[in-house]
Amino acid sequence: MAGLEIPTWDPETALLIGTILLEAIVLYVGYGGLERLFGPYLMKLLVGGDADAR
């Protein structure tokens, strides 16, 4: 059976996982900013009138 493995340092894999981590943080901040900027406008468009963005 394939034995339990102690993680070894692999720069390419670390870069791969780091890229995913960075993408997640950028998406959290980016979508948050977009929500603040365009949220109220989008809510008006979808609901009509003066509904507040939730």
Partner 1 sequence: MLDSLLGGAGILGTSPEMLALFVGFGLVVGVLFGFFGMGGSFLVTPALLMLDYEPSVAVGSGMAFVFGTAVIATLKHHDLGQVDYKLGAIMITGTTIGIEAGRASVYYLESLGLAGGIISVAYVVLLGGVGAMVTRDALKSNGGGGIDHEAADKDLDEYEIPEIAKTIQQTVRIPPMVTLRGDVRVSVWVITAVAFATGLLSGFLGVGGGFIRMPAMIYAIGVPVPVAVGTDLFEIVFSGGLGSYLYGQGGGVNLGIVAPLLFGSALGARIGSAATAVVDADGIKIYFGGMLLIGAVAVGIGEIGSYLGNPTLELLGLVLVIGAAVVVAFAILYTTISSLRQERHQGTTVTD
Q: Exposed e or buried b for every residue in 12-40, given b needs 16+ CB within 10 A?
A: eeeeeeeeeeeeeeeeeeeeeeeeeeeee
CA distance 3 to 13: 20
Binding to partner 1 in span 23-42, by CB under 8 A: 23-25, 27-28, 31, 35
Minimal distance, residue 51 CB to partner 1, in Å: 5
Minimal distance, residue 11 CB to partner 1, in Å: 8
Binding partner 1 (rule: CB under 8 A), the pick from 33, 36, 38, 51 is 51
Residue 43 touches partner 1, criterion: CB under 8 A = yes
